[in-house]
Amino acid sequence: MQPALVERAMRGDEEAFASLAAQSADGCYALAYRILRDPHRAQDAAQRAMLGAWRDLPTLRDPARFDAWLHRLVVNACYVELRSERRWVARVRLTAADSPPEPDIAWAIAARDELDVAFRRLTSDQRAVVVLHHYLGYPLTDIATMLGVSEGTARSRLHRAVQRLRAALDQDEPSLAVTEERPA
Amino acid sequence: MNVERPSGDFDPRIAAWLDLDPHRAPAELLDGVVATFPSIHQRHRSMAPAWSPRRRFIVTGAACAVALLVVATAVLAVTKPWSPTVGGFAPPATAPAISLVRDEWIVDDAVAVTITRDPADQTAHYWRAATYDVIGLHGWSVGPSTSATEPADVSLSDKTADDAGITGRSQITFSVQPGAFTGSTVLTPGTPITVDQPVTLTTTSAGGYLSRIVREGPGAYRVTALAGGASNASGATGIGALRGAGTHYPTEITERYLGIMPGTIGTNARVLEDRLVAQAAGTTPIDLVESIMQILRSNEYTYSTDVRSLQCESLSTVECFATFKQGFCQYYAPTMAVLLRDLHIPTRIVEGFLPGERTGDTEVIRDNNAHAWVEVYFPGYGWIPFDPTGANTSSQLPAALPS
């Protein structure tokens, strides 16, 4: 993210924030989707995070850290979503979003379902750590800072979560064994 | 994502699984964010003093004005934006044609347009400027649409799906002289037939329902339209007739006019919806429409042009209104539209102007006549206007259908 753009948005430049929002929307949604496993709630969480970003931008200390700061807001918004029991109404999706990528044939549906089930059984903290680490590639030190916990806590959360997910993977080892050589 | 993926205890299988999920956000996500800027801005006015209007005051009268009508109009069609005395800010450059619900209603009483029409026709018309199919958490916008340029004086009615062969409507011809409303959007009640200037006709891309008509030239213009509908004397679109309209909606209607953005309906909006169903005289769509109209226009809901004190930061406009029961047209209209959509009744938001002051053949419409209301789709009858906003607007059509 361009720090100059962030700085303009921090000063209340609405167009600058609109540009930031446009650049960040996909990333926010992708992160929220992976934690929440639900497109509608992911959209809501991402939206809440982005609006929170606009509101709280003046409090951002380092414009260069905008991405990590925004990701933290997304994680917090996901926590709110996971705590709530709201009933979403979304019978009709108004705008055709791009479809999720076609699943690779090497990934057996059963295996993915097992992973999905295992992931949904994780706590919200564990989900966040897994996604931040395995999807976004944040080091544990950064994750600890983002989540306001010690590095040891972040590490243990990740360890337990990965253990559970690996257990699900191992149940379907035969079908997942080809993942390293899956066809293009 | 620009973050380096670390080595160490990184499991590529989990990463690959996570990578299967979507990477791109739905378009309405960004629309929803952009559409919320002003309400955020209201709480952070000091961040952008340049948006403060030069001259403004709060309207405490009956009219609920829609400043952003013109902002939205300007986005699509004009080079000169709506008078900054109305609204007081411009949308982000990246915004689509959107209108945004605000926390405070501030307008002036400048003459928006002057209409010349047959003095013998005493029908009070709502002057429609634009319709919106997408209702967001804090505003509304136009979804995918199609625009085509049409020459002057050609029939536009057969180029939209809005004219459903409605009986009881009459043809009217009128001229519009722009005043403070410098936008190029054509104002018209009912279904427009012709405009005496080349225009760009924008319709929803799926069904071809009218979104707006934009003139290519400046100055005065003349329109012929089919108007009447809710106010017609024959009762052809009265409650009795509409009870028989049924619910066999065209697919292009259900695809576009039933959408509800996640998070719009909260606990209190759900209570209101349950109540409107319980209090309805019947189960047909018009019964439900009448029921929500009756509730929203009752004294239970207070018309207020300044709702900045309400704690609605985390609520949708609909949930905010259902919770605090205070607001102006931009709160009434989406509440009605969304709750009906949730009951599988197609609706759209309309922006335009309330009827103005009549003197002879002249109707003067002021900025503070600007308004937002709801149109409900009835099979065989098309889009019928309803105005759920209470507060001294009871004498103005189309408050309710003739029974």
CB B383, CB B163: distance < 8 Å: no
A101 part of a folded domain: no
Most confident range, picked from A53-57, A79-83, B35-39, B98-102 = A53-57
Residue A127: which CATH number?
1.10.10.10
CB B64, CB B105: distance < 8 Å: yes
The predicted structure's pLDDT at residue B274: 94
Q: Which helix (H) or strand (E) holds B210?
A: strand B210-215
A91 part of a folded domain: no
Confidence at A1, pLDDT banded by 50, 70, 90: low
A26 part of a folded domain: yes
- Cβ contacts of A24-27, under 8 Å, gap ≥ 24: A24/A50, A24/A53, A24/A67, A24/A70, A25/A50, A25/B25, A25/B29, A25/B30, A25/B33, A26/B23, A26/B24, A26/B25, A27/A67, A27/A70, A27/A71, A27/B1
CB B159, CB B150: distance < 8 Å: yes
- Between B3, B26, B34, which is nearest A21 by CB? B34
- Rounded to whole angstroms, the Cα distance separating B247 from B257 reads 14
Interface of B with A in 203-262 (CB under 8 A): 254-256, 258-262
Residues A36 and A78 in one domain: yes
Q: How far is B374 from chain A (nearest CA, A)?
A: 18
A89 part of a folded domain: no
Q: Is residue B328 over pLDDT 90?
A: no
- Between B48, B263, B342, which is nearest A44 by CB? B263
Model confidence pLDDT, tens digit, residues A3-18? 888 998 888 888 888 8
- Integer-rounded Cα radius of gyration of chain A: 18
Beta strands in B228-329 (DSSP E): 302-303, 326-327
Identify the domain containing residue A48 by its residue range. 3-83
Higher confidence at residue B115 or residue B75? B115
- Rounded to whole angstroms, the Cα distance separating A37 from B3 reads 22
Residues A78 and A122 in one domain: no
B141 to chain A: nearest residue by CA? A94
A174's CB contacts (< 8 A; 6+ apart) are none
Model confidence pLDDT, tens digit, residues A18-46? 888 888 999 999 999 999 988 878 888 89
- Between B2, B137, B262, which is nearest A90 by CB? B262
- Rounded to whole angstroms, the Cα distance separating A72 from A66 reads 10
CB B179, CB B225: distance < 8 Å: no
Interface membership of B41 toward A (CB under 8 Å): yes
Confidence at B268, pLDDT banded by 50, 70, 90: very high
Q: How far is A136 from chain B (nearest CA, A)?
A: 6
CB B388, CB B303: distance < 8 Å: no
Angle between helices A109-120 and B12-19 (to 10 degrees): 100
* Mean pLDDT to the nearest integer, A130-156: 90
B286's CB contacts (< 8 A; 6+ apart) are B239, B242, B243, B245, B378, B401
Confidence at B99, pLDDT banded by 50, 70, 90: low
Interface of A with B in 120-179 (CB under 8 A): 130-131, 133-139, 158-159, 162, 165-166, 169, 176, 179
Q: Which of A68, A83, A98 is the last residue of a domain?
A: A83
Q: How far is B331 from chain A (nearest CA, A)?
A: 19
A102 part of a folded domain: no
Share of chain B above pLDDT 90, in %: 29
Instruction: Name which of A78-87, A153-162, B166-175, B347-356 the model is least confident about.
Output: A78-87
Confidence at A93, pLDDT banded by 50, 70, 90: very low
Model confidence pLDDT, tens digit, residues B167-225? 566 789 999 998 877 678 899 988 888 999 999 898 987 778 998 898 887 789 999 99
A125 part of a folded domain: yes
Pairing outcome for strands B302-303 and B326-327: parallel
Instruction: Name which of A10-14, A91-95, B301-305, B398-402 the model is least confident about.
Output: A91-95
- Share the mean pLDDT of chain B: 74
Residues A119 and A163 in one domain: yes
Indicate yes or no: CB of B24 within 8 angstroms of CB of A26.
yes
Contacts of B6 in chain A (CB under 8 A): 133, 137-139
**Structural domain count, chain A:** 2
Interface membership of B54 toward A (CB under 8 Å): no
Domain ranges of chain B: 27-386
Pairing outcome for strands B199-204 and B302-303: unpaired
Residues A70 and A133 in one domain: no
Residues A129 and A67 in one domain: no
A88 part of a folded domain: no
Q: Which of A65, A83, A101 is the last residue of a domain?
A: A83
Is this prediction's ipTM beyond 0.85?
no
Interface of B with A in 269-328 (CB under 8 A): 270, 314
- Rounded to whole angstroms, the Cα distance separating B331 from B104 reads 11
A177 part of a folded domain: yes
Residue A37: which CATH number?
1.10.1740.10
B342 to chain A: nearest residue by CA? A89
Q: Give B114's strand partners.
A: B177, B364
Instruction: Return the closest-CA partner of residue B349 out of B389, B296, B322.
Output: B389
Residue with tokens 């108004």: A94
Residue with tokens 């996500």: B29
